[in-house]
Structure 1
Amino acid sequence: MRLTPLLMLASLSAALTVSASAENLVLPLWPEGVPNAKPELGPERLEEGRISNVSEPTLTVFPPAVDRPNGTAVIICPGGGYVRLSTQREGVQYANWLSTLGVTSFVLKYRMAEFGHPAPLQDVLRAVRLVRSRAAEFKIDATRIGVMGSSAGGHLSASAGTLFDHPAGKTGAPLDAVSARPDFLILMYPVISMDDPVTHVGSREALIGKHPPAELRELMSLEKQVTTATPPTLLIHTQADQSVPIENSIRFFQALTRAKVPAEFYAFERGSHGMGMLDGLGTSSNWPARAAEWLRARDLLTTRK
C-alpha cells in the first residue's frame, strides 16, 4: 500500500519516542537516525550549564506555568558561537520566563562545529516541523510557532526565518512535507552577517569554515536572504556589545523594512554580549517586559478557544 504524506507523517509521529528527565520531556529530533551521524565523537560535554560536542539533537519541553496555555509555542536556540550551547542562561531561563506568559517552550540542542553547515539548519527546521506536526498533542496552535535565539543561536533562528524552504534544510524524511516556516522570530544580540568587519569570526568559522566558498558565505549572511515571506521579527541588541556588533541587528532590521516585514528593534545602551536575563543593566534588563508587550501586541498571548 502506498502511503500518503499525511499517513507517513502520522506513522513517523507515532514512532517518535519520548524520554523523560526529572521534570521535562526530551524529544529526539531524529529517531530514525541523525543525518550524517558521527558516533566517533563520543559523549557530550556539560560544564557550567553549557553543552558541547552534540551529536544527538533533542528538544526539551517546558510547559506553561499557568492553568490555561495560550497556544503559542517558542523553539529556543541557545547561543555559544556554534561550538557550545549556553543552555541554562539562554535556554532554560528564557523557557521559564515564557512559561509565565502561558507559552509552551522547546529548548533545542543542536549540532554545531563538529558537523558544520547544514547540520544546524537541518536541526532547527526539523524542530519546527516536529512541533508543528504534534501541535494537537502539546495543545498549541500550529500557526503560532516562533523561534527565539541568542548570538549564534540568533543566527540559527534567523536562518529558520529566511531559509525555511532551502534544500539544504531537508533530508528526504516524511516530515519535510510539513512547513518549517516559523510564525515569528525573537532575536537576541544575533550574529546575522558573515561579512567582515561586522561578523563574529568564531561563529563563522565554526559554521562554514575558515575559507568558505563565496556562495556559502553569501547564503549564510542572512540580511541578504530576507524576503516578504520572512516572519515578523523582534530584535534586541545593545551598543555595549563588543563581541557581536549591533550592526548585525541593524542590517537585518533594514532588510526586513525593505521587504515590508513587520519588525521592531530594541537598541539598548548597556549590557555586554550574552547578557541573557541579567538584572542591574538599566533599561536593558527590562527587555523581557518589552518582548512580552510585543508578543501581546501581535495577539500571541491571547488564549484562543
Structure 2
Amino acid sequence: MQRILIVLSMFFTLANSAQDMEIALWDVEIPDSKKHSDYQEDQKIDGGILSRASKVTEPKVYAFFAKENTSKTAVIIFPGGGYGHLSMSKEGFKVAEWLASEGISAFVVKYRLPDDRIMKDKSIGPLQDAQRAVRLIRHNAEKWNLDSDKIGIMGFSAGGHLAATLSTHYDKKVYLNKIEESARPDFSILAYPVISLTSAITHEGSRRRLLGENPSDNLVTQFSNEFQVSENTPPTFLVHALDDHSVPVENTLNYFNALRENNIPTELHIYNDGGHGFGLAEHLPNNLWPKLLLEWLKTQN
C-alpha cells in the first residue's frame, strides 16, 4: 500500500480550476494498450476549463473534496459523449463542484474511449478505467477522509452505460489487478443512460464505437446491462426525459424493471420534457432532480 501511495503522490498536481488535484489513473503501463503515433488527445478549453476531450490516451481522475464531508461519501463521475468524446465540464466538473458544495467529495474520470488503434480489446477499455477508478479511490479512502463503504458512481448518457456496466460487471477480470479492494460501487446514479446495446432502443453511435460495426449477439447481450442485473447490483437512482430522441427512455425503464425483479433498491424519475444531455438541468423543468438525488442519498445513508 505504501508504494502505491508514494507513486500516486508523484502524479498529484495543483489545478487552475476548482478541483483540488488531478491524478493519473494508472501508475504503470495501461493494460492491453497499444501505441499509435497519430493518436493524440484532442481538447476543447473554454474559459481556462477543459470542456471537452476526445482521443484520451492518459486517463486521469480530477478530485473535488468537500470541505465538510461528514458522511464521508464519494461519487465517481463518468461524463457522456457517445463513447466518441467526453463532456468534461457539463457532465463532469460542474456536477462535481455541486456535489462538493453539498458535502460530498467527487471525482471526475477522464476515461479512455474505445478505439482499436490504442486498445487490444476496445469493448473493455473503458471498463478497465472504471474499475481502476473505484479501486484507486477506495484504496485511498482513509487518506482522503472517505468511507470505503460509501463509494458510489454517476454516469451520463454513454457515461451512464459505463456506470451501468461497472455496476453489473464490477467483478469481471478485465485486467491484472494489483489493488485488492473491490471495484463494486456502493450505489449508482444514472442520468439519461445508454443501458441497452440491442438495436431496437440503443444509441447507435455508442454501440458502434464500443462493439464495432457487426457485433455478435453474445457481445450485444453481454453489454446490454438490463440483462446483466443481479441481486448484487448496487442501489440505483435513475433520471430520464420522455422527449429524449437520442437515447430512448426505454433504456432506463428496462433497467428499472430489471432492478425491481432483483429486489434492488431503486428510485426512478421520468420527466416529460428535458431532451437529452440536460446535465444538472439548471434552466429546465426537470431541475429538481439534483435535490431529489440528495434526498435519495440520505435514505441510502
TM-score (norm 1): 0.90
Give structure 1 stretches of 5+ with no counterpart: 1-8, 300-305
Matches within 5 A, 1:282-301: 282=285, 284-299=286-301
Residue 157 of structure 2 contacts residue 193 of structure 2 at CA under 8 Å; is this kept in 1?
A: yes
25-34 or 148-157, which deviates more: 25-34
Structure 1 residue 63: Cα displacement: 0.9
For 1:107, the equivalent position in structure 2 comes to 108
Does the aligned pair in 2 maintain the 1:183–1:231 contact within 8 Å? yes
Measured in 1, the distance between the counterparts of 2:182 and 2:68 equals 29
Which structure features the higher share of helix residues? 1
State how many pairs are aligned: 286
Q: Cα RMSD over matched residues? A: 1.4
Q: Which residue of 1 aligns with 2:16?
A: 22
CA deviations 1:23-65 (Å, max 9, x no partner) are: 531111111111214352443111251100101111000111x
Find out whether 1:218 has 2:214 as its counterpart. no
Counterparts in 2 of 1:136 and 1:153: CA distance versus 1, 3 Å: same
Q: Which residue of 1 aligns with 2:97?
A: 96
Is the 8 Å Cα contact of residues 54 and 112 (structure 1) preserved in structure 2? Answer: yes
Q: Which runs of 5+ in 2 are unaligned?
A: none
Secondary structure class of the residue paired with 2:288: helix
Identity percentage over the alignment?
40
Q: Compared with structure 1, are the counterparts of its residues 174 and 280 closer, same or farther at alpha carbon in structure 2 (3 Å cutoff)?
A: closer
1:182 equivalent in structure 2 = 185
What are the residue-to-residue correspondences of 1:146-295 with 2, within 5 Å? 146-168=152-174, 171-175=175-179, 177-282=180-285, 284-295=286-297
The one-letter code of the counterpart of 2:263 is: K
SS at match of 1:55: coil
In the TM superposition, structure 1's runs of 4+ consecutive aligned residues that sit over 4 Å from their partners are none
| SS in structure 2 at match of 1:285 | coil
Residue matched to 1:83: 84
Give the 3-state SS of the residue equivalent to 2:127 in structure 1. helix
Q: TM-score, normalised by structure 2?
A: 0.92
* Kept after mapping to 1: 8 A contact 2:93/2:108: yes
Displacement, 1:286? 1.0
Aligned counterpart in structure 2 of residue 142 of structure 1, from 148, 157, 164: 148
- Which whole-Å CA distance do the structure 1 matches of 2:289 and 2:69 have between them? 24
Q: Does the C-alpha gap of structure 1 residues 38 and 69 become closer, same or farther in structure 2, counting only changes over 3 Å?
A: farther
Where does residue 6 of structure 1 map in the other structure? none
